[in-house]
Structure 1
Amino acid sequence: MSIITHFKQVRAQTVSFCSHLNVEDYSIQVVAFASPAKWHLAHTTWFFEEFILKPFLPNYKVFNDNYGFLFNSYYNTLGTRVLQSNRGNMSRPGTNEILEYRSHVDENVLKLLAQNSSKELTDLIILGLNHEQQHQELLVTDVKYMFGHNSLFPIYKKDENLLKDHNTSADTTQINEGVYTIGYQGNNFCYDNELGAHKVFINDFEINNFLVTNGDYIAFMEAGGYSDFNLWLDEGWSWVNKNKINAPLYWFKIDEIWHYYTLAGLQPVDENAILGHINFYEANAYAEWKGMRLPTEFEWEVASKALNWGKRWEWTASAYLPYPKFEKANGAVGEYNGKFMSNKMVLRGASVATSQNHSRNTYRNFFSPLERWQYTGIRLVK
């Protein structure tokens, strides 16, 4: 696929997802970590304007001088920006203006590509497209968080129940102890946090080729899983009690029957479907209850070729830390991953919300152990 075709497809996919929203939906921010759809549309566009058009296209004129302040996310190198918690206050610029902004930037990127095919430019555009694909997944989960906290539980799209998948196998895989190479070793795109291929020693372990289901987790709940402090890490136990947690995110008990919110609306929980929307502490407590454990990210990567993965981001027992010889790029691009290597846990695989062709077995996703609005799940080892 040519870079021009790839660019057009990725940019169109973001707008296509938003086409099912009402205009009132575009600006809502329910919590600080979930950004409005309008902000995602603008931020992914700003990325191309800031990193591609301004340095590479001669005489490029920015669409709006205020957009760098409004739509910069976390790049300190590029100056001040709106607080993340205030992104929902942007009733202006309007949604139509943001769509005009996208068209303006797209036209200029395509103009630039027609005259410049350098590797430096192409590599940055590929980074921008992967960045946009990350935001496409965040759009799915942020819109779901917004609708999932709306008293009417609106339907985004009638056939968009992303929680319906079942496991396709029930076996386990035995991995023998040994020294294995970890990290990306190919020639295609990857993030800097995947580089630095290195060897690790792994002991014998057995890993499930299936994920924990809703029914499995209900058994944990009914056995008092949320009330037994012995199962929980200390911060997780504090979180459970402070927030009175007794079920996964989006679960509601109605007439003694568990329901969960999906993008297709509120539905009875399918006990045979794969569990979703739990945080690291819930995953770890469940593993403790089962007398098993979560895999390390290295165990997961070694076993991945034998696993069915891609339906849920899978919590690992590994803290998000740099690989040996990790190097940050100069400038703002260097802020992409490295500065977040603290107080985060690694998730491996992909989810049903992950954009097509945006997954690989070396991909290192990372979130706070308290967060559960992504499509997260549990795989166990022993």
Structure 2
Amino acid sequence: MTTANTETAGIEQLRTRVAEQLERARARSIALTDAVDDDDLVRQHSKLMSPLVWDLAHVGNQEELWLVRDVGGREPVRCDIDNLYDAFQHARADRPALPLLPPAEARRYVREVRDKVLDVLERSPLEGRRLEAGGFAFGMIVQHEQQHDETMLATHQLRAGAPVLHAPPPPPGRPLPAAEVLIPAASFAMGTSIDAWALDNERPAHEVFVDAFFIDTAPVTNAAYAAFIEAGGYDDPRWWSERGWAYRQHANLSAPRFWLRAADGWLRRRFGVVEPIPPDEPVVHVCFHEAQAYAAWAGRRLPTEPEWEKAARFDPATGRSRRYPWGDEDPGPEHANLGQRHLSPAPVGAYPAGASPAGVHQLVGDVWEWLDSDFHGYPGFEPFPYREYSEAFFGGDYKMLRGGSFGTDPVAGRATFRNWDHPIRRQIFAGFRCARDASPEELA
């Protein structure tokens, strides 16, 4: 096969992959919105979240803006609704009062946009200008829709009523060989300059030196967190930062969100089901302040963002950074709990095939992990294709989250993917693991 033929075949494979990813994201959006009736779609289940029907039309509007109008150069489908679905123009709490598209019209709109997008995809060279090279604009839209699907999944967790989502339980856990592992001091390549669908805040790759540290082999479990509660952790300001203690008092925090005290222990409400809390699953629905307080109580701390990424990606045998903890191949069901295959984190030790070279488990999937780092751009950061995706949030009141959750799709599950949120947020599928400095005696 000639070089030209090989390149053409590669472009057609990419075109097929893009079409499959677009369809997978849309199938999930439809499943999440078809699971409830129209009253549920238009209702605001929490001031923290948009009505589900807003999310649905918003993903269609972003798809229209970037793929129909920009990449395709086509006439607008509905330019009259751009303002309604601009996330920067309207706070979530205000969106129910907007003249939003009703459910049937929203569904027609996203179908019409998608039909045009598939035609644009057939005609796009998927190379040339930066927005189209490697299918970036399509990948950006796929990731955007999947991120909103995870947001809609969090809205489902907040809604009242009978269960409407169902999935098989995650695989069983298994004992791990150690509670923590040592990550030796060394420089590593953080971020990426080569991943075609990496977003601007993941770029560029740059060398970072990280001192030796220990990191938990797995995220903190429900059982371990319950021990913190029973030891009076929520009532002792010694373990909390000044700001964290003030928020604990203001919000009257006493346990992770959705936990319910029972006569003989703890229950949780999970997508409409009230059930005993599995002791060996990673704790979820805690805010940064709670995670930080637990770590202090345990005599440890939260990892920094460079520490987390080094533990997840650095392979000391080759000296290079992997795309995922297990290697460069895309996530499979044996590697990580991603893609809403299950509706909860998996027990600790459930994914031995997904461990990092250092032996750290479940760094990708299960729960987003709070890190003690603020959100900023990497050295050489360049906003692309618009500054509001990342740059507008730099320096704000945000803490980093890495690794994805059981609700994160594999398309956004790479180990360079960066997430951020306010340190008080608990509706997201967030947990944490602990770290600590390595002493000179341990290094000797």
TM-score (ref. length: structure 2): 0.78
Equivalent pair of 1:314/1:348 in contact (CA under 8 Å): yes
Confirm or deny that 1:254 pairs with 2:262. yes
- Paired letter, 1:29: Q
> Could you tell me which of 145, 156, 166 is aligned with 1:143?
156
How many Å separate the matches in 2 of 1:182 and 1:92? 41
How many Å separate the matches in 1 of 2:105 and 2:98? 12
The alpha carbon displacement at 1:343 in A equals: 1.4
Partner of 1:338: 391
How many Å separate the matches in 1 of 2:215 and 2:71? 48
How many Å separate the matches in 2 of 1:185 and 1:316? 23
How many Å separate the matches in 2 of 1:66 and 1:165? 50
Partner of 1:77: none
Report SS of the residue matched to 1:15: helix
The alpha carbon displacement at 1:174 in A equals: 1.1
* Structure 2 unaligned spans of 5+: 1-15, 313-324, 326-355, 437-444
CA RMSD of aligned residues (A): 2.1
Confirm or deny that 1:361 pairs with 2:369. no
CA pair 35-168 structure 1, distance change in 2 beyond 3 A? farther
- Paired letter, 1:373: Q
How many Å separate the matches in 1 of 2:174 and 2:106? 41
Cα distance per residue 1:312-356 (max 9 Å; x no partner) = 1111111111111111136xx221111111211111111001013
Cα distance per residue 1:183-203 (max 9 Å; x no partner) = 114333111111122222222
Confirm or deny that 1:10 pairs with 2:25. yes
Confirm or deny that 1:270 pairs with 2:278. yes
Partner of 1:316: 371
CA pair 373-180 structure 1, distance change in 2 beyond 3 A? same
Partner of 1:78: none
Equivalent pair of 1:192/1:326 in contact (CA under 8 Å): yes
Partner of 1:72: 86
> Could you tell me which of 231, 234, 238 is aligned with 2:239?
231
Equivalent pair of 2:157/2:272 in contact (CA under 8 Å): no
How many Å separate the matches in 2 of 1:167 and 1:315? 24
Confirm or deny that 1:84 pairs with 2:86. no
> Could you tell me which of 179, 199, 210 is aligned with 2:187?
179
> Could you tell me which of 31, 37, 53 is aligned with 1:22?
37
How many Å separate the matches in 2 of 1:270 and 1:187? 37
Sequence identity percentage: 27
Cα distance per residue 1:282-321 (max 9 Å; x no partner) = 0000000000111111111111132222211111111111
CA pair 166-283 structure 1, distance change in 2 beyond 3 A? farther
Equivalent pair of 1:167/1:273 in contact (CA under 8 Å): no
Equivalent pair of 2:302/2:435 in contact (CA under 8 Å): yes
> Could you tell me which of 106, 115, 122 is aligned with 1:114?
122
CA pair 68-286 structure 1, distance change in 2 beyond 3 A? same
Cα distance per residue 1:243-287 (max 9 Å; x no partner) = 111000111113453211112511121222221110111000000
CA pair 37-181 structure 1, distance change in 2 beyond 3 A? same
Pairing 1:184-195 to 2, within 5 Å after superposition? 184-195=192-203
Confirm or deny that 1:169 pairs with 2:169. no
How many Å separate the matches in 2 of 1:42 and 1:165? 38
CA pair 136-300 structure 1, distance change in 2 beyond 3 A? same
TM-score (ref. length: structure 1): 0.90
CA pair 324-106 structure 1, distance change in 2 beyond 3 A? same
> Could you tell me which of 293, 302, 326 is aligned with 1:294?
302
Equivalent pair of 2:136/2:196 in contact (CA under 8 Å): no
CA pair 113-357 structure 1, distance change in 2 beyond 3 A? closer
CA pair 6-168 structure 1, distance change in 2 beyond 3 A? farther
Confirm or deny that 1:376 pairs with 2:430. yes
Partner of 2:322: none
Cα distance per residue 1:210-248 (max 9 Å; x no partner) = 111111111100111001001001111111111111000
Equivalent pair of 2:369/2:433 in contact (CA under 8 Å): yes
The alpha carbon displacement at 1:166 in A equals: 4.7
Aligned residue-pair number: 367
Confirm or deny that 1:101 pairs with 2:109. yes
How many Å separate the matches in 2 of 1:227 and 1:359? 36
CA pair 175-37 structure 1, distance change in 2 beyond 3 A? same
> Could you tell me which of 26, 50, 53 is aligned with 1:35?
50
